[in-house]
Structure 1
Amino acid sequence: VKERGAMAAREVAGAEPNSETRVELLGVRTAPALAGTPPLLARYRLLPRTGRTHQLRAHMNGLGLPLLGDPLYPHVTDPDPTDYRRPL
């Protein structure tokens, strides 16, 4: 569920699903450890059957597989003030 004014969508326990995504694992590889996480990265094919706001982000986070570098899920993060990869 995505509520007006909220940055992120959330799951509602026991509610009827309002979106559907097929998730296929394409591969797993090792990578340098990132801030206390296991050094594994996986690549998935995401095939949305519906088009809800933040659907892919919410489904992957709900599976315990948040998107690498996503500033909204699992929680909203402020941008790093020393990261100059994005324009001001």
Structure 2
Amino acid sequence: MLHTVLRRRAGDESVEQIQPDLIIPTGKRKGQNPSVASIYRALAEHTKREAYPEAVEHAHADFAAQQNAERHGDGTPGPRPAAAGGVSSR
């Protein structure tokens, strides 16, 4: 759905114009239209991912480390590796 919204927004359509044409593919609301607020949230998340790709990578690495620690019975992930360039991401 996000790809469709981005493509149509590039063609100067508003979210309100696009919303009725979108259908939720899975889950409790399968077959219904997403709310305008949900579309704006998805656009905001996409913008954030595009603006801060390294933060997304760190979040994925932290999550994987936590999952690995839980699988091995520790439950607490180890220290986070330093960010590139010696700048802390905290």
If the length of structure 1 is used for normalisation, what is the TM-score? 0.26
Identify, as 1 or 2, the structure richer in helix.
2
Q: Which has the higher contact order (CA 8 A, sep 6+)?
A: 1
Identify, as 1 or 2, the structure richer in strand.
1
If the length of structure 2 is used for normalisation, what is the TM-score? 0.26
